[in-house]
Amino acid sequence: MKKTVLTIIAIVASLGVMGYVLTKNKAENKAKTDIVAEKNAAVSVKTAQVKTESVSLDFVANGNFAPTQELTFSAEKSGKVIKVLVDEGDYVNVGQTLVIVRSDVINVNASTAKAAYDNAKSDYARYENAYQTGGVTKQQLDQAKLQLTNAQANLTQANINVGDTKVKAPIKGFINKRFIEPGTILAGMPPTQMFDIVDVSKLKLKVSVNESQVAGLKIGNTIPVTSSVFPDKSVTGKITFIAPKADESLNFPVEIEITNNANNSIKAGMYGTANFGTKQKQELKVVPRNAFVGSVSSNQIFVVENGIAKLKKVTAGRILGDQVEIINGLADGDTVIVTGQINLQDGNAVEVIK
């Protein structure tokens, strides 16, 4: 009996020791887990310092070259195409014949109109002589004159129609697209498209600039321009258009006209770069462009204060390449977050990656 009691006491004591050890281990594990969780809660970020420095006000703007003159040429009258004298890629001058349309009926009408005019002219001359001798009345003479006038108008129109059998180029340029073949039936309403003519002897580079950049631009300013395919060859362009109103992205479209080289090497649709050089520098407070949450227009930046991310509202100024002017909201020496913002909310703990 005594032996049984001792055994029970020993078992209870062992269980007590085991419970104590398990409880202690659990507390230690929880403490370790809390430390890891606290460390994992901190978002890893990279930072930069706000600073005032001497910044060049030069900037570049990219865009596409467009032809200064382009025309989709359509038929004015109906008819059947007999000959097409040009092909895609051909260069044409103003007034050059591009297409010959069947002229049988038109020529007959012109001959009839010419005969009617000659007859009316003879009648008027005869009536005029007869009026001098009293052979016809003034009313008859006036009627003969009216018939002559109408016949002359009909002949003029008939001659125009004869001219229309030879369709001529209204502008100079390259045949970019040909829509017709011999045998095509042209229609006047709706008009049949015949050619797309593009003049690339002069091109305009279309770019967009922000409000702080557009303020220093004027019509007639000369701007160095390069193309993506000839980056080492610069040509001088001239500003011919500055939009009086910003577009949906709050930028201002600007057009710069250039004269193409003798080989017309720069094609419409190619990418180009305008180099707006002011040769001026100014002391500006700046931050990296990628410090902004989303885009510069958001005017929101995260700063680090005592290991905590704080979302601040700022006033952005000019965009200067990969830097942005800060007008208000930050001070020199402030630490701004430049990567990792996508994972941040205001008040999150952060771990700065060196």
Q: Are residues 310 and 252 in the same domain?
A: no
Domains in the chain: how many in total? 2
What confidence tier does 34 reach under pLDDT thresholds 50, 70, 90? very low
Q: Are residues 267 and 337 in the same domain?
A: no
Q: Is 272 a residue whose pLDDT tops 70?
A: yes
What's the confidence (pLDDT) of residue 307? 92
- How large a percentage of the chain has pLDDT more than 70? 83
What's the confidence (pLDDT) of residue 25? 62
Q: Is 232 a residue whose pLDDT tops 70?
A: yes
Better pLDDT: 319 or 181: 181
Q: Is 40 a residue whose pLDDT tops 60?
A: no
- Measured CA to CA, the distance from residue 190 to residue 169 in angstroms comes to 20
Are 330 and 287 a contacting pair, CB within 8 Å? yes
Q: Are residues 286 and 339 in the same domain?
A: yes
What's the confidence (pLDDT) of residue 35? 46
Q: Is 323 a residue whose pLDDT tops 80?
A: yes
- Measured CA to CA, the distance from residue 175 to residue 88 in angstroms comes to 5
What confidence tier does 346 reach under pLDDT thresholds 50, 70, 90? very high
Q: pLDDT by residue (tens digit) across 110-163? A: 678 788 888 888 878 888 888 888 777 888 878 888 888 888 888 777 666 655
Question: Out of 21-30, 174-183, 201-210, 317-326, which region has the weakest mean confidence (pLDDT)?
Answer: 21-30
- Choose one of 241, 276, 311: the last residue of a domain: 276
Tell me the pLDDT of the chain averaged across its residues. Answer: 84
Q: Are residues 301 and 287 in the same domain?
A: yes
The answer as to whether 258 is a domain residue is yes
Q: Are residues 222 and 202 in the same domain?
A: yes
Q: pLDDT by residue (tens digit) across 89-110? A: 999 999 999 998 876 555 566 6
- How large a percentage of the chain has pLDDT more than 90? 42
- pTM summary value: 0.55
Cα 204 to Cα 18, 234, 239: the distances in Å are: 86, 15, 9
CATH of the domain at 320: 2.40.420.20
What's the confidence (pLDDT) of residue 4? 65
Kind and range of the H or E element at 124? helix 104-132
Q: Is 253 a residue whose pLDDT tops 70?
A: yes
Give the domain extent around 220.
60-67+198-276
Average pLDDT for 296-319:
91
- Choose one of 212, 241, 276: the last residue of a domain: 276
Question: Out of 20-34, 98-112, 159-173, 244-258, which region has the weakest mean confidence (pLDDT)?
Answer: 20-34
CATH of the domain at 212: 2.40.30.170
